[in-house]
């Protein structure tokens, strides 16, 4: 009981005078809890709104009281981070074990500083064993360094020498891991940075991948295994080998089942997501939706990557022509508590997806507010305007769809002409072939004066080329929110059932426009 007695004395003598945590059991009768509820339940509460909620009306006195209350609550909310529940398997599996190591390390350091060296050694030894088992080498090193200090002070010569030897081994492994982490950081930066020629990117990836293989052979730690696995997926992705990603992720799960991956570090969510993504890019959306149903149980609806997972489920539904499912995904996304936490670009993507969905599956009675939102999207270019890859073309196409739906022939012709200029100026590389072909299909709408029969006749050779053009590597892939051939068919059907009214002057302008290039 000696250790327990020492710990009890430390806590009694060193506890804080004021409770460091919020007392949620007290309910709304405590101002601190009312403030937390107001912050959590409101989208963007203003300072004055919060003061009115807590003190009835703004005043100099109430403003000063609010500042003190807010500072106190903010500090207590930070303290609650130590007590979050990380046991839910739908979060990153490694997070739980990483934080357990960090928690033990913190406790061991505090105990040593309070003079409980023997208890500190027990806790740090537990941290060292757990960190080695789960492959958190950096925490293992910190635990070993603390044990070295404690054993030296306690004159434990045998244990001191053993931990020094273990520390040297761990530091060697960590040097290898740091080299792998530096390579992975370079790879991630190259993927998200400015557009780089595909051949240049792949040429740089090959030696990096080989270097990672060698580092993992030397280190054999979960950290190097995870990085090597992820960069192999990046290489397949940038090569456009999406079938390779499907095969690779299936084999990774078989290796996990055989114990070749550390189950406390392997992120099954990432593995399933990449397979979903690969099925999308290999035009197997039904298979991708099957994986999405399996993957859903591994993603928590409040996790930061939930919305990204939902984006790809939406795209799979759109590519499969399951527009009712797509509508449900969009509705669920807007109701998600995570939606407002996304950055502006991510929220704009969801608005764009919704605009496409409204074209192929128009709401029975769109509200005036929804019509205003769609009009705003069509008339104002979001912040992708300087992005010559990604969603820029999807936005330009979406504008054409909006004005087709509005039966505004003049606006359609103007935007189709803008797309023709855009195609000639920005889409010259071979990797943009699918997008170029679809923009030429859209040009037919103006050239053939919205006649669906003539558009369909002239589209046949372009559709044949499109069917024989595979999607490029991810670094250069324009986003096909709806597959181009499927979207073209929907546009033709729209021209048959709801053709725009073509004014005489507009018809003459269309007839004199440049031929499709």
User: Is residue 85 helix, strand or coil?
Assistant: coil
Burial label for 31, CB within 10 Å (0-12, 13-18, 19+), is middle
Task: Report the distance separating Cα 90 and Cα 86, nearest Å.
Answer: 9
Evaluate whether 277 touches 245 at the Cβ level (below 8 Å).
yes
User: Is residue 478 helix, strand or coil?
Assistant: coil
> For residue 37, what pLDDT is reported?
83
> For residue 355, what pLDDT is reported?
87
> For residue 233, what pLDDT is reported?
95
> For residue 30, what pLDDT is reported?
83
The structure's pTM equals 0.80
The predicted-structure confidence for 84-119, as pLDDT tens digits, reads as follows 777 777 777 888 899 999 999 999 999 999 999 999
> For residue 287, what pLDDT is reported?
97
> For residue 361, what pLDDT is reported?
86
Angle at CA 58, nearest 5°, toward 57 and 64? 125
> For residue 238, what pLDDT is reported?
84
Token duo for residue 278: 């690969």
Evaluated on CA atoms 364, 365, 369, 374, the torsion sign reads positive
Task: Report the distance separating Cα 270 and Cα 256, nearest Å.
Answer: 13
What DSSP string runs through 436-466? HHHHHHHHHHHHTTT-HHHHHHHHHHHHHHH
> For residue 384, what pLDDT is reported?
41
> For residue 269, what pLDDT is reported?
93
Evaluate whether 377 touches 402 at the Cβ level (below 8 Å).
yes
* pLDDT averaged over 10-residue windows placed end to end, the chain, 517 residues: 72 74 80 83 76 80 86 87 78 87 95 92 96 95 97 95 97 97 91 61 88 96 95 90 95 94 92 94 94 91 86 95 94 86 83 89 69 60 46 85 89 89 83 88 93 95 91 60 94 90 53 52
Token duo for residue 463: 């559709």
């Amino acid at each position: 009981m000696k250790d327990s007695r020492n710990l009890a004395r430390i806590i009694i003598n060193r506890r804080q005078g004021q409770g460091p945590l919020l007392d949620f059991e007290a309910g709304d009768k405590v101002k601190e809890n009312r403030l937390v509820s107001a912050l959590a339940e409101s989208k963007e509460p203003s300072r004055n709104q919060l003061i009115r909620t807590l003190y009835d009306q703004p005043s100099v006195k109430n403003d000063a009281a609010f500042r003190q209350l807010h500072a106190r609550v903010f500090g207590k909310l930070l303290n609650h981070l130590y007590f979050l529940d990380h046991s839910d398997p739908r979060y990153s599996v490694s997070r739980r074990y990483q934080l357990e190591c960090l928690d033990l390390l913190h406790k061991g350091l505090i105990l040593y500083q309070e003079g409980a060296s023997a208890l500190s050694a027990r806790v740090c030894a537990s941290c060292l064993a757990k960190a080695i088992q789960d492959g958190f080498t950096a925490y293992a090193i910190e635990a070993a360094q603390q044990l070295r200090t404690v054993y030296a002070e306690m004159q434990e010569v045998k244990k001191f020498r053993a931990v020094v030897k273990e520390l040297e081994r761990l530091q060697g492994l960590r040097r290898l891991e740091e080299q792998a982490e530096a390579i992975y950081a370079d790879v991630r930066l190259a993927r998200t940075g400015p557009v780089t020629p595909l051949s240049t990117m792949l040429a740089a990836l090959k030696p990096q991948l080989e270097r990672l293989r060698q580092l993992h052979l030397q280190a054999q730690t979960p950290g190097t295994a995870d990085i090597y696995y992820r960069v192999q997926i990046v290489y397949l992705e940038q090569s456009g080998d999406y079938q390779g990603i499907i095969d690779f992720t299936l084999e990774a799960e078989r290796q996990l089942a055989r114990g070749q991956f550390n189950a406390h570090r392997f992120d099954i969510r990432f593995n399933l997501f990449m397979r979903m993504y690969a099925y999308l890019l290999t035009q197997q959306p039904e298979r991708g939706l099957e994986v999405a149903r399996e993957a859903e149980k591994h993603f928590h609806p409040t996790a930061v990557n939930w919305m990204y997972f939902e984006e790809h489920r939406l795209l799979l539904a759109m590519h499969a022509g399951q527009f009712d499912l797509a509508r449900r995904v969009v509705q669920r996304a807007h109701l998600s508590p995570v939606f407002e936490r996304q950055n502006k670009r991510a929220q704009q993507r969801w608005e764009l997806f919704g605009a496409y969905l409204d074209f192929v599956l128009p709401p029975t009675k769109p509200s005036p507010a929804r019509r205003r939102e769609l009009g705003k999207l069509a008339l104002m270019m979001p912040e992708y305007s300087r992005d010559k890859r990604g969603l820029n073309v999807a936005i330009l196409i979406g504008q054409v769809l909006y004005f087709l739906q509005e039966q505004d022939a003049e606006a359609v012709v103007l935007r189709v002409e803008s797309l023709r200029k855009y195609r000639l100026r920005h889409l010259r590389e071979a990797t943009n072939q699918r997008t170029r072909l679809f923009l030429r299909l859209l040009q037919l709408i103006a050239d053939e004066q919205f006649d669906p029969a003539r558009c369909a006749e002239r589209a046949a050779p372009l559709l044949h080329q499109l069917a024989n053009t595979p999607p490029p590597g991810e670094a250069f892939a324009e986003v096909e929110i709806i597959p181009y051939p499927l979207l073209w068919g929907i546009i033709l059907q729209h021209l048959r059932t709801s053709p725009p009214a073509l004014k005489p002057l507009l018809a003459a302008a269309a007839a004199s426009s440049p031929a499709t290039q």
